[in-house]
Structure 1
Amino acid sequence: MLRIVNRVLLGLAGLVLLAVGGAVLAAGAGLDVPSWWPWHGPDGVLLSTGARRRWRGEDWWWPAVLAALAVLLLAALAWLLVQARRRRLTEVLVNSRDGEGAGLRGRTLEDAMAGEAETLDGVDRARVRLTGRRTAPTARVALTLEPGASPGETLTRLRDGALAHARDSAGLKQLPAKAYLRTAGHRPGRVS
Protein backbone atom coordinates (compact mmCIF):
# COMPACT_ATOMS: atom_id res chain seq x y z
CA MET A 1 0.00 0.00 0.00
CA LEU A 2 2.83 2.38 0.87
CA ARG A 3 4.41 1.73 -2.52
CA ILE A 4 1.18 2.75 -4.30
CA VAL A 5 0.82 5.94 -2.22
CA ASN A 6 4.47 6.73 -2.88
CA ARG A 7 4.07 6.35 -6.63
CA VAL A 8 0.89 8.43 -6.71
CA LEU A 9 2.54 11.24 -4.72
CA LEU A 10 5.64 11.16 -6.90
CA GLY A 11 3.48 11.25 -10.03
CA LEU A 12 1.42 14.19 -8.77
CA ALA A 13 4.50 16.12 -7.68
CA GLY A 14 6.09 15.48 -11.07
CA LEU A 15 2.99 16.66 -12.94
CA VAL A 16 2.72 19.84 -10.85
CA LEU A 17 6.41 20.65 -11.31
CA LEU A 18 6.18 19.93 -15.05
CA ALA A 19 3.09 22.16 -15.46
CA VAL A 20 4.57 25.04 -13.45
CA GLY A 21 7.94 24.76 -15.18
CA GLY A 22 6.30 24.67 -18.61
CA ALA A 23 4.15 27.69 -17.82
CA VAL A 24 7.15 29.67 -16.54
CA LEU A 25 9.08 28.74 -19.68
CA ALA A 26 6.15 29.78 -21.87
CA ALA A 27 5.82 33.13 -20.09
CA GLY A 28 9.57 33.71 -20.29
CA ALA A 29 9.55 33.00 -24.02
CA GLY A 30 6.78 35.56 -24.51
CA LEU A 31 4.10 33.01 -25.46
CA ASP A 32 0.43 33.43 -24.55
CA VAL A 33 -0.32 32.56 -20.90
CA PRO A 34 -3.63 32.81 -19.00
CA SER A 35 -4.51 36.20 -17.53
CA TRP A 36 -4.40 34.87 -13.94
CA TRP A 37 -0.79 33.69 -14.36
CA PRO A 38 1.58 35.88 -12.26
CA TRP A 39 4.30 36.15 -14.94
CA HIS A 40 3.68 37.88 -18.25
CA GLY A 41 6.68 38.09 -20.53
CA PRO A 42 10.39 37.73 -19.89
CA ASP A 43 10.46 40.66 -17.43
CA GLY A 44 7.57 39.38 -15.27
CA VAL A 45 8.04 38.93 -11.52
CA LEU A 46 6.18 36.86 -8.97
CA LEU A 47 5.52 39.73 -6.57
CA SER A 48 4.94 43.25 -7.83
CA THR A 49 6.80 46.18 -6.30
CA GLY A 50 3.73 47.15 -4.27
CA ALA A 51 3.30 43.61 -2.93
CA ARG A 52 6.97 43.38 -2.01
CA ARG A 53 6.80 46.66 -0.10
CA ARG A 54 3.59 45.60 1.64
CA TRP A 55 5.13 42.35 2.93
CA ARG A 56 8.48 43.92 3.78
CA GLY A 57 6.86 45.91 6.58
CA GLU A 58 5.41 42.82 8.27
CA ASP A 59 7.66 41.36 10.98
CA TRP A 60 6.27 37.87 10.62
CA TRP A 61 6.69 37.59 6.82
CA TRP A 62 10.31 36.49 6.41
CA PRO A 63 10.35 34.13 9.41
CA ALA A 64 7.15 32.54 8.08
CA VAL A 65 8.65 32.13 4.59
CA LEU A 66 11.86 30.63 5.99
CA ALA A 67 9.92 28.30 8.33
CA ALA A 68 7.72 27.08 5.47
CA LEU A 69 10.79 26.41 3.31
CA ALA A 70 12.49 24.60 6.20
CA VAL A 71 9.40 22.41 6.72
CA LEU A 72 9.31 21.59 2.99
CA LEU A 73 13.02 20.73 3.04
CA LEU A 74 12.64 18.49 6.11
CA ALA A 75 9.62 16.74 4.59
CA ALA A 76 11.55 16.10 1.36
CA LEU A 77 14.54 14.74 3.32
CA ALA A 78 12.29 12.49 5.41
CA TRP A 79 10.67 11.17 2.24
CA LEU A 80 14.12 10.50 0.75
CA LEU A 81 15.22 8.63 3.89
CA VAL A 82 12.07 6.49 3.82
CA GLN A 83 12.85 5.54 0.22
CA ALA A 84 16.41 4.53 1.07
CA ARG A 85 15.43 2.44 4.09
CA ARG A 86 15.47 -1.33 3.68
CA ARG A 87 12.03 -2.71 4.22
CA ARG A 88 11.32 -5.86 6.12
CA LEU A 89 9.63 -8.53 4.06
CA THR A 90 6.09 -9.07 5.33
CA GLU A 91 5.29 -12.21 3.35
CA VAL A 92 7.13 -14.99 1.54
CA LEU A 93 5.42 -16.80 -1.31
CA VAL A 94 5.69 -20.53 -0.60
CA ASN A 95 5.67 -22.97 -3.50
CA SER A 96 3.06 -25.54 -2.43
CA ARG A 97 3.55 -27.51 -5.68
CA ASP A 98 -0.17 -27.47 -6.45
CA GLY A 99 -0.06 -24.47 -8.74
CA GLU A 100 -1.65 -22.18 -6.17
CA GLY A 101 1.10 -21.18 -3.78
CA ALA A 102 0.64 -19.91 -0.24
CA GLY A 103 1.75 -16.92 1.78
CA LEU A 104 3.98 -17.30 4.83
CA ARG A 105 4.44 -14.37 7.17
CA GLY A 106 7.98 -13.10 6.94
CA ARG A 107 8.22 -12.61 10.69
CA THR A 108 7.30 -16.29 11.25
CA LEU A 109 10.06 -17.49 8.94
CA GLU A 110 12.51 -15.08 10.57
CA ASP A 111 11.64 -16.40 14.03
CA ALA A 112 11.97 -20.02 12.91
CA MET A 113 15.37 -19.37 11.33
CA ALA A 114 16.60 -17.44 14.37
CA GLY A 115 15.38 -20.18 16.73
CA GLU A 116 17.18 -22.88 14.77
CA ALA A 117 20.34 -20.75 14.49
CA GLU A 118 20.39 -20.25 18.26
CA THR A 119 20.55 -24.03 18.75
CA LEU A 120 23.89 -24.21 16.92
CA ASP A 121 26.98 -24.85 19.01
CA GLY A 122 28.73 -21.62 19.87
CA VAL A 123 25.80 -19.30 19.10
CA ASP A 124 24.55 -17.18 21.98
CA ARG A 125 21.89 -15.16 20.11
CA ALA A 126 20.60 -14.93 16.57
CA ARG A 127 18.50 -12.39 14.73
CA VAL A 128 17.20 -12.81 11.20
CA ARG A 129 15.67 -10.20 8.92
CA LEU A 130 14.19 -10.94 5.51
CA THR A 131 14.35 -8.32 2.76
CA GLY A 132 13.82 -8.38 -0.98
CA ARG A 133 10.79 -9.62 -2.90
CA ARG A 134 8.30 -12.17 -1.64
CA THR A 135 9.28 -14.59 -4.42
CA ALA A 136 13.02 -14.04 -3.91
CA PRO A 137 13.81 -13.13 -0.29
CA THR A 138 17.24 -12.34 1.09
CA ALA A 139 18.20 -13.11 4.68
CA ARG A 140 20.33 -10.92 6.93
CA VAL A 141 21.52 -13.03 9.85
CA ALA A 142 23.19 -11.47 12.90
CA LEU A 143 24.86 -14.01 15.16
CA THR A 144 26.35 -13.33 18.56
CA LEU A 145 28.96 -16.02 19.17
CA GLU A 146 30.02 -17.37 22.51
CA PRO A 147 33.67 -16.95 23.47
CA GLY A 148 35.77 -19.68 21.85
CA ALA A 149 33.30 -20.45 19.06
CA SER A 150 34.71 -21.09 15.60
CA PRO A 151 33.24 -18.62 13.08
CA GLY A 152 33.96 -20.86 10.08
CA GLU A 153 32.26 -23.91 11.57
CA THR A 154 29.33 -21.82 12.77
CA LEU A 155 28.80 -20.37 9.28
CA THR A 156 28.95 -23.84 7.73
CA ARG A 157 26.36 -25.15 10.22
CA LEU A 158 24.17 -22.10 9.60
CA ARG A 159 24.30 -22.61 5.83
CA ASP A 160 23.63 -26.35 6.03
CA GLY A 161 21.09 -26.05 8.84
CA ALA A 162 18.80 -23.06 9.33
CA LEU A 163 19.24 -21.53 5.88
CA ALA A 164 18.86 -24.83 4.01
CA HIS A 165 15.79 -25.80 6.05
CA ALA A 166 14.15 -22.42 5.47
CA ARG A 167 14.88 -22.57 1.75
CA ASP A 168 13.53 -26.12 1.42
CA SER A 169 10.45 -25.58 3.58
CA ALA A 170 9.47 -22.45 1.64
CA GLY A 171 10.13 -24.16 -1.70
CA LEU A 172 12.61 -21.49 -2.78
CA LYS A 173 15.24 -22.16 -5.42
CA GLN A 174 17.74 -20.12 -3.44
CA LEU A 175 17.92 -18.07 -0.28
CA PRO A 176 20.88 -15.67 -0.39
CA ALA A 177 22.08 -14.59 3.01
CA LYS A 178 24.53 -12.22 4.62
CA ALA A 179 25.80 -13.20 8.04
CA TYR A 180 27.12 -10.69 10.56
CA LEU A 181 29.12 -12.19 13.40
CA ARG A 182 30.17 -10.72 16.69
CA THR A 183 31.29 -12.16 19.97
CA ALA A 184 29.32 -11.98 23.18
CA GLY A 185 30.67 -9.32 25.44
CA HIS A 186 31.26 -10.00 29.09
CA ARG A 187 32.16 -7.76 31.98
CA PRO A 188 35.72 -8.04 33.10
CA GLY A 189 36.04 -9.50 36.57
CA ARG A 190 38.32 -8.27 39.28
CA VAL A 191 41.05 -10.65 40.25
CA SER A 192 42.38 -10.29 43.76
Structure 2
Amino acid sequence: MRKTVNRVLLGLSGLGLIVLGGAVLLGGLDLQRRWGFDVPGWWPFRGPDDVVLGTEGRTRWRDENWWWPVVIAVLAVLLALLLWWLLAQLARHRLGQVLVDSKDGAAARLNGRALEDVIESESQALDGVSRAHVRLTGRRTAPAARVRLLLEPHAEPAETLGQLSRETLAHARDSAGLDRLPSKVRLREVRHRAHRVA
Protein backbone atom coordinates (compact mmCIF):
# COMPACT_ATOMS: atom_id res chain seq x y z
CA MET A 1 0.00 0.00 0.00
CA ARG A 2 2.78 2.42 0.94
CA LYS A 3 4.58 1.84 -2.36
CA THR A 4 1.39 2.56 -4.31
CA VAL A 5 0.75 5.79 -2.38
CA ASN A 6 4.37 6.83 -2.91
CA ARG A 7 4.19 6.21 -6.64
CA VAL A 8 0.90 8.08 -7.03
CA LEU A 9 2.12 11.06 -4.97
CA LEU A 10 5.46 11.21 -6.78
CA GLY A 11 3.75 10.89 -10.15
CA LEU A 12 1.28 13.68 -9.38
CA SER A 13 4.04 15.90 -7.96
CA GLY A 14 6.21 15.32 -11.02
CA LEU A 15 3.31 16.00 -13.39
CA GLY A 16 2.44 19.20 -11.54
CA LEU A 17 6.06 20.40 -11.62
CA ILE A 18 6.36 19.65 -15.34
CA VAL A 19 3.15 21.57 -16.12
CA LEU A 20 4.13 24.52 -13.91
CA GLY A 21 7.69 24.59 -15.27
CA GLY A 22 6.43 24.39 -18.84
CA ALA A 23 4.01 27.27 -18.22
CA VAL A 24 6.76 29.45 -16.72
CA LEU A 25 9.16 28.64 -19.58
CA LEU A 26 6.50 29.30 -22.19
CA GLY A 27 5.84 32.78 -20.81
CA GLY A 28 9.38 33.59 -19.66
CA LEU A 29 10.99 32.78 -23.01
CA ASP A 30 8.08 34.38 -24.92
CA LEU A 31 7.70 31.17 -26.96
CA GLN A 32 4.11 31.84 -28.02
CA ARG A 33 5.18 35.03 -29.84
CA ARG A 34 8.33 33.45 -31.31
CA TRP A 35 6.62 30.32 -32.53
CA GLY A 36 3.43 32.08 -33.65
CA PHE A 37 0.70 30.54 -31.51
CA ASP A 38 -1.74 31.98 -28.99
CA VAL A 39 -2.44 30.85 -25.42
CA PRO A 40 -5.93 30.73 -23.84
CA GLY A 41 -7.26 33.74 -21.94
CA TRP A 42 -6.91 32.03 -18.53
CA TRP A 43 -3.19 31.30 -19.10
CA PRO A 44 -1.25 32.89 -16.21
CA PHE A 45 2.04 33.72 -17.97
CA ARG A 46 1.73 35.61 -21.25
CA GLY A 47 5.19 37.12 -21.59
CA PRO A 48 8.58 37.75 -19.95
CA ASP A 49 7.21 40.77 -18.02
CA ASP A 50 4.38 38.85 -16.31
CA VAL A 51 4.62 37.92 -12.63
CA VAL A 52 3.50 34.70 -11.00
CA LEU A 53 1.13 36.47 -8.62
CA GLY A 54 0.19 40.07 -9.35
CA THR A 55 -1.01 42.76 -6.96
CA GLU A 56 -4.66 42.02 -7.67
CA GLY A 57 -4.19 38.33 -7.00
CA ARG A 58 -2.35 38.99 -3.74
CA THR A 59 -4.84 41.51 -2.34
CA ARG A 60 -8.09 40.22 -3.84
CA TRP A 61 -9.47 38.38 -0.78
CA ARG A 62 -7.48 40.03 1.98
CA ASP A 63 -10.39 42.08 3.37
CA GLU A 64 -12.79 39.10 3.50
CA ASN A 65 -13.37 37.63 6.99
CA TRP A 66 -13.23 34.02 5.79
CA TRP A 67 -9.95 34.33 3.82
CA TRP A 68 -7.31 33.90 6.54
CA PRO A 69 -9.09 31.08 8.43
CA VAL A 70 -9.44 29.17 5.15
CA VAL A 71 -5.78 29.75 4.24
CA ILE A 72 -4.61 28.61 7.69
CA ALA A 73 -6.91 25.55 7.65
CA VAL A 74 -5.74 24.47 4.17
CA LEU A 75 -2.08 24.91 5.15
CA ALA A 76 -2.64 22.98 8.42
CA VAL A 77 -4.27 20.07 6.55
CA LEU A 78 -1.46 20.09 3.98
CA LEU A 79 1.15 20.09 6.76
CA ALA A 80 -0.61 17.20 8.54
CA LEU A 81 -0.73 15.17 5.32
CA LEU A 82 2.95 15.81 4.60
CA LEU A 83 3.92 14.83 8.16
CA TRP A 84 1.84 11.65 7.89
CA TRP A 85 3.56 10.78 4.62
CA LEU A 86 7.00 11.45 6.14
CA LEU A 87 6.26 9.28 9.18
CA ALA A 88 4.95 6.53 6.90
CA GLN A 89 8.31 6.55 5.08
CA LEU A 90 10.24 6.24 8.33
CA ALA A 91 8.07 3.55 9.90
CA ARG A 92 9.19 -0.03 9.54
CA HIS A 93 6.06 -1.99 8.81
CA ARG A 94 5.72 -5.50 10.06
CA LEU A 95 4.99 -8.31 7.66
CA GLY A 96 1.35 -9.39 7.83
CA GLN A 97 1.66 -12.76 6.07
CA VAL A 98 4.29 -15.24 4.98
CA LEU A 99 3.71 -17.49 1.98
CA VAL A 100 4.47 -21.08 2.90
CA ASP A 101 5.21 -23.74 0.29
CA SER A 102 2.90 -26.62 1.22
CA LYS A 103 4.64 -29.00 -1.27
CA ASP A 104 1.36 -29.77 -3.03
CA GLY A 105 1.52 -26.97 -5.60
CA ALA A 106 -0.56 -24.50 -3.59
CA ALA A 107 0.87 -21.80 -1.36
CA ALA A 108 -0.50 -21.43 2.15
CA ARG A 109 -0.48 -18.19 4.09
CA LEU A 110 0.97 -18.02 7.56
CA ASN A 111 0.06 -15.14 9.83
CA GLY A 112 3.23 -13.07 10.33
CA ARG A 113 2.34 -12.22 13.92
CA ALA A 114 1.95 -15.93 14.75
CA LEU A 115 5.44 -16.67 13.43
CA GLU A 116 6.82 -13.69 15.38
CA ASP A 117 5.17 -15.00 18.56
CA VAL A 118 6.66 -18.46 18.10
CA ILE A 119 10.16 -17.08 17.52
CA GLU A 120 9.78 -14.80 20.55
CA SER A 121 8.63 -17.59 22.87
CA GLU A 122 11.42 -19.93 21.72
CA SER A 123 13.98 -17.14 22.07
CA GLN A 124 12.85 -16.35 25.61
CA ALA A 125 13.23 -20.02 26.49
CA LEU A 126 16.97 -19.86 25.72
CA ASP A 127 19.30 -19.81 28.71
CA GLY A 128 20.21 -16.29 29.74
CA VAL A 129 17.50 -14.49 27.75
CA SER A 130 15.30 -12.25 29.87
CA ARG A 131 13.07 -10.93 27.10
CA ALA A 132 12.81 -11.18 23.31
CA HIS A 133 11.13 -9.08 20.66
CA VAL A 134 10.79 -10.19 17.02
CA ARG A 135 9.54 -8.31 13.99
CA LEU A 136 9.24 -9.77 10.49
CA THR A 137 9.99 -7.44 7.59
CA GLY A 138 10.60 -7.90 3.87
CA ARG A 139 8.27 -9.55 1.38
CA ARG A 140 5.77 -12.35 1.87
CA THR A 141 7.91 -14.66 -0.25
CA ALA A 142 11.22 -13.56 1.29
CA PRO A 143 10.76 -12.51 4.91
CA ALA A 144 13.54 -11.28 7.17
CA ALA A 145 13.60 -11.20 10.97
CA ARG A 146 14.69 -8.45 13.33
CA VAL A 147 15.36 -9.92 16.75
CA ARG A 148 16.10 -8.00 19.95
CA LEU A 149 17.23 -9.99 22.96
CA LEU A 150 17.57 -8.70 26.50
CA LEU A 151 20.24 -10.81 28.18
CA GLU A 152 20.68 -11.62 31.85
CA PRO A 153 24.06 -10.66 33.37
CA HIS A 154 25.21 -14.31 33.45
CA ALA A 155 24.42 -14.93 29.75
CA GLU A 156 27.16 -15.72 27.23
CA PRO A 157 26.35 -13.56 24.16
CA ALA A 158 28.22 -15.76 21.66
CA GLU A 159 26.58 -18.92 22.97
CA THR A 160 23.12 -17.33 23.03
CA LEU A 161 23.54 -16.03 19.49
CA GLY A 162 24.67 -19.47 18.31
CA GLN A 163 21.68 -21.16 19.93
CA LEU A 164 19.32 -18.62 18.46
CA SER A 165 20.73 -19.16 14.98
CA ARG A 166 21.08 -22.96 15.12
CA GLU A 167 17.85 -23.75 16.92
CA THR A 168 15.21 -21.03 17.07
CA LEU A 169 15.66 -19.34 13.69
CA ALA A 170 16.45 -22.62 11.91
CA HIS A 171 13.29 -24.15 13.38
CA ALA A 172 11.19 -21.16 12.24
CA ARG A 173 12.74 -21.28 8.76
CA ASP A 174 12.16 -25.02 8.36
CA SER A 175 8.61 -25.00 9.77
CA ALA A 176 7.60 -22.21 7.37
CA GLY A 177 9.24 -24.02 4.43
CA LEU A 178 11.57 -21.10 3.68
CA ASP A 179 14.87 -21.50 1.88
CA ARG A 180 16.43 -18.78 4.02
CA LEU A 181 15.47 -16.42 6.83
CA PRO A 182 17.99 -13.57 7.02
CA SER A 183 18.06 -12.09 10.49
CA LYS A 184 19.47 -9.10 12.31
CA VAL A 185 19.96 -9.67 16.00
CA ARG A 186 20.49 -6.96 18.60
CA LEU A 187 21.70 -8.00 22.04
CA ARG A 188 21.36 -5.89 25.16
CA GLU A 189 22.12 -6.63 28.76
CA VAL A 190 19.61 -6.22 31.56
CA ARG A 191 20.63 -3.39 33.84
CA HIS A 192 19.67 -4.02 37.45
CA ARG A 193 19.55 -1.15 39.89
CA ALA A 194 21.74 -1.44 42.92
CA HIS A 195 19.79 -1.87 46.15
CA ARG A 196 21.02 -0.56 49.46
CA VAL A 197 21.32 -3.23 52.10
CA ALA A 198 20.75 -2.08 55.68
What TM-score range do you get, normalising by the shorter chain?
Answer: 0.7 to 0.9
**Which of residues 152, 174, 180 is equivalent to 1:146?**
152
Q: Distance in 2 between matches of 1:3 and 1:51?
A: 38
What residue is the counterpart of 1:80 in the other structure? Answer: 86
Q: How far apart are 1:55 and its partner, in Å? A: 5.6
Q: Distance in 2 between matches of 1:65 and 1:131?
A: 41
- Partners of 1:117 and 1:126 within 8 A in 2: yes
CA-based RMSD: 2.5
- Partners of 1:118 and 1:126 within 8 A in 2: yes
- Partners of 1:23 and 1:33 within 8 A in 2: no
What residue is the counterpart of 2:19 in the other structure? Answer: 19
TM-score in terms of structure 1 length: 0.86
Q: Percent identity?
A: 60
- Partners of 2:26 and 2:45 within 8 A in 1: no
What residue is the counterpart of 1:9 in the other structure? Answer: 9
What residue is the counterpart of 1:43 in the other structure? Answer: 49
Q: Distance in 2 between matches of 1:25 and 1:63?
A: 34
Q: Distance in 2 between matches of 1:160 and 1:173?
A: 15
Which range moved further: 113-122 or 64-73? 64-73
Unaligned runs of 5+ in 1: none
Unaligned runs of 5+ in 2: 33-37
What residue is the counterpart of 2:197 in the other structure? Answer: 191
- Report the 3-state secondary structure (helix = DSSP H, G, I; strand = E; otherwise coil) of the residue aligned with 2:48: coil
Q: Distance in 2 between matches of 1:43 and 1:77?
A: 37
Q: Distance in 1 between matches of 2:57 and 2:145?
A: 59
Structure-2 change in CA distance of 1:138 and 1:44 (3 Å) = same
Q: Distance in 2 between matches of 1:104 and 1:165?
A: 15
What residue is the counterpart of 1:124 in the other structure? Answer: 130
What residue is the counterpart of 2:141 in the other structure? Answer: 135
- Partners of 1:95 and 1:102 within 8 A in 2: yes
- Report the 3-state secondary structure (helix = DSSP H, G, I; strand = E; otherwise coil) of the residue aligned with 1:130: strand
Q: How far apart are 1:49 and its partner, in Å? A: 3.0
Which range moved further: 5-14 or 155-164? 5-14
Which range moved further: 164-173 or 26-35? 26-35
What residue is the counterpart of 2:28 in the other structure? Answer: 28
Query: Where in structure 2 are the equivalents of 1:33-72 lying within 5 Å?
Result: 33-54=39-60, 72=78
Q: How far apart are 1:36 and its partner, in Å? A: 0.4
Q: Distance in 1 between matches of 2:96 and 2:60?
A: 55
- Partners of 1:96 and 1:171 within 8 A in 2: yes
CA deviation profile, 1:82-131 (whole Å, cap 9, x unmatched): 12322211111111122221111111100000011111111111110011
What residue is the counterpart of 1:156 in the other structure? Answer: 162
Which residue identity is paired with 2:91? R
What residue is the counterpart of 1:111 in the other structure? Answer: 117
